[in-house]
Structure 1
Amino acid sequence: MSDYVRLVEMSARDGLQNESAPINTADKIELINRLSETGLPSIEATAFVSPKWVPQMADATEVLTGIRRKPGVDYPVLTPNLQGYQRAIEAGAREVAVFTAASEGFSLKNTNASIAQTLERFAPIMEAARADNVKVRGYVSTVLGCPIQGEVAVSEVVRVATAMHELGCYEISLGDTIGVGTPAKARAMLRAVAQQVPVERLALHFHDTYGQALANILVCLEEGARVIDASAAGTGGCPYAKGATGNVATEDVIYFLHGQGLRTGVDLDALTDVGHWLSERLGRASQSRAGRALYVKRHSSN
């Protein structure tokens, strides 16, 4: 397997969407511009969703049209339906993401639709994306547990991920939305999905609620996974999953990967500075242990 791991940075979308206090559009743009200079290859910029349901993303068009795009960096955006897709394309999106869940209860809570209905909604998006030469990424939530129904059958994760792959998603991100997964369950889930979808088409999206994210990532790396979603300063959560903390912190993931001899192309010091800047804007300490330690070490010696 390759020793290169591709990071997909989530802080500007998944990291900010659950913040209750409004965040200035200028700060969102500044965050993405700063992240673009760290070597991250993909930065999810925003979500073209209903402001009624996710008020923090109401300025999606302003954010996407206002950022400074760096050559070689992808800026995907979340689009739950064809209307959102069309808005995103008008704003200049060249990659979009669609999402569903592996549990019916969470799908109904999150999208007000069954899994089957969400997959039906994707069909016109996929058709339009093929015509527009736009890449589509897929998210499957609750792959290791659901806040509504509890355990989620691995067979359901396989079924939904396979359906999204067959629809044409170039990559499927497998999300432990509430962070309850443990290494044995994470490994078994990935192995099962990889029997139907090539492992190089799969990504890991692990929240760190129970402190298991890095351990889960390690066993999935051993199974061949090489794409990881993460969020600077550990920001994030889920508005439909009470108690879920943010994604695993990008700084922690990169420190871990570099320690394993794997390459990311990301400047960890630069990213640590961005995480510190973001945490200051949010008025709280960074949730990244590596980020806090490295920032203090570097700046206390100056």
Structure 2
Amino acid sequence: MSTASYGRTHLAGLPEAVTICEVGPRDGLQNESTVLPVEVKAEFVARLVDAGHTVVETTSFVHPKWVPQLADAEALLGAITPAEGVRYPVLVPNERGLDRALDLGVRDIAVFGSTTETFAERNLNRTVDESLEMFAPVVGRAREAGLAVRAYLSMCFGDPWEGEVPVPRVVDVATRMMALGCTELGLGDTIGVATPGRVVALLDALTAAGVPVGRIAVHFHDTYGQALANTLAALQHGVTTVDASAGGLGGCPYAGSATGNLATEDLLWQLEGLGIRTGVDLRKMVETSVWLAKELGRPSPSRTVAALAG
């Protein structure tokens, strides 16, 4: 079953195609209490590629002390046979992480910044300014080596310790990160508090500050059930890259109120109903999330998975 069974209707002002950045293997699994064997993780990545994904965020080179679920990063990358035309970005926190990535032939990396001082201290053990200083040589060396670099920016709408995050603060940190040479900006609603009007206001402010909308990706969490509404608002304002996680896996190990990411299957159901191309097969994604839920020992939180797998 797919949306085609119930009809597809376009809405004016939406893109014809959207790239889904599948973050399940990294952002999804990093917050799971179950640590999966590397063979299962490699199969997960292979299933995602087989479903049609062209961007699969694979793992992280954060120290295993902080994210033990991803301690097998080198082994996982060695177990993956890269498919032609598919990008496998990894999260790189510092120059040591970049060295590991370069040694393994990684071609896409991401750095992970914060709009707020509290989260920067908790996540990076640095102030916002100090974290930007740390990222500068990472981004510079990566770009010299020909790598693409995403600038993840967390807490773009709200912070559990500091409350509402003002749009000018987000714009300030975002433009400073992009000025380092990053090729893409990922806006993170880390605790899922955004609503469509705030999404539009931030996108308008960023484009006014010189960040092209074509270089902006959105990363919504579904804490208050707003992820799909926020995604639609972003698409209406020109965004064409959306992060999602198979089965709705994930959260944030440093923000206890952050629940799961937008489920890839829920996103696909919406995009297919709007006639927007993604190249990703919904049926295969449902099968993958059902399989992974068994490996994790718990059901998938995705409503679409529940509906189609029932």
Q: Which amino acid aligns with 1:246?
A: G
Q: Is 1:23 matched with 2:36?
A: yes
Work out the percentage of aligned pairs sharing the same amino acid. Answer: 50
Is 2:204 aligned against 1:212? no
Instruction: Say whether residues 1:232 and 2:246 are aligned partners.
Output: yes
Q: TM-score, normalised by structure 1?
A: 0.96
Q: Tell me if 1:127 matches 2:117.
A: no
**Greater relative contact order (Cα 8 A, min sep 6): structure 1 or 2?**
2
95-104 or 16-25, which deviates more: 16-25
Q: Is the 8 A contact 2:88 2:106 kept in 1?
A: yes
Alpha-carbon displacement from aligned partner over 1:36-83 (angstroms, at most 9, x marks no partner): 101111000000011111111110000111112111110000000000
| 1:82 aligned partner | 95
Distance 1:191 1:281 in 2: 42
Matched, 1:198 2:229: no
Please name the residue that 1:42 is paired with.
55
2:168 is equivalent to residue 155 of structure 1:
yes
**What is the CA–CA distance in structure 2 between the aligned matches of 1:128 and 1:105, rounded to whole Å?**
28
Kindly indicate whether residue 291 of structure 2 is the aligned counterpart of residue 284 of structure 1.
Answer: no
1:160-219 deviations in whole A, cap 9, x for unaligned?
111121111111000000001111112211221122200000000000011000011111
- What residue in structure 2 maps to residue 177 of structure 1? 190
Gaps of 5+ in 2: 1-13
Aligned to 2:83: 70
Report if the CA contact (8 A) 2:114-2:155 is conserved: yes
Q: Map Cα deviations across residues 97-123 of structure 1 (whole Å, 9 max, x no partner).
A: 001011111111111011111111111
| Rounded Cα–Cα distance in structure 2 between residues aligned with 1:284 and 1:56 | 17
Matched, 1:99 2:89: no
Whole-angstrom distance in 1 between the partners of 2:258 and 2:198: 18
The one-letter code of the counterpart of 2:250 is G
Partners of 1:243 and 1:125 in 2: CA distance:
30
Letter matched to residue 123 of structure 1: A
Is this contact kept in 1: 2:15–2:235, CA < 8 A?
no
Say whether residues 1:56 and 2:97 are aligned partners.
Answer: no
Could you tell me which residue of structure 1 aligns to residue 278 of structure 2?
264
Q: Distance in 1 between matches of 2:294 and 2:173?
A: 39
Structure 1 portions without partners, runs of 5+: 297-302
- Structure-2 separation of matches of 1:31 and 1:92: 21
**Partners of 1:143 and 1:152 within 8 A in 2:** yes
Shift of 1:225: 0.8
For residue 158 of structure 2, give the secondary structure of its aligned residue in structure 1.
Answer: coil
- CA positional deviation for 1:22: 2.0
The aligned amino acid for 1:172 is L
SS in 2 for 1:125: helix
Residue type matched to 1:51 in 2? P
User: How far off its partner does 1:243 sit?
Assistant: 2.5
1:294 is aligned with what amino acid? L
* Secondary structure at 1:16 match in 2: helix
Moved over 6 A (4+): none
Please say which of residues 123-132 and 247-256 is displaced more in the overlay.
123-132
User: Displacement of 1:16 after TM fit?
Assistant: 0.5
User: Which residue of 222, 237, 245 corresponds with 1:223?
Assistant: 237
- Take 1:20 and 1:280, find their aligned partners in 2: how far apart are those partners? 14
2:248–2:302 Cα contact (<8 Å) kept: yes
Cα deviation for residue 10 of structure 1 reads 0.5
Q: Distance in 2 between matches of 1:60 and 1:122?
A: 20
The 3-state SS of whatever aligns with 2:141 is helix
The normalised TM-score by structure 2 is 0.93
CA contact (8 A) 1:145 1:178 kept: yes
Residue 300 of structure 1 corresponds to which residue in structure 2? none
1:290 Cα shift? 1.1
| Alignment match of 2:268 (pick from 237, 240, 254) | 254
Q: Look up the equivalent residue of 1:46 and give its one-letter code.
A: T
Equivalent residue for 2:199?
186
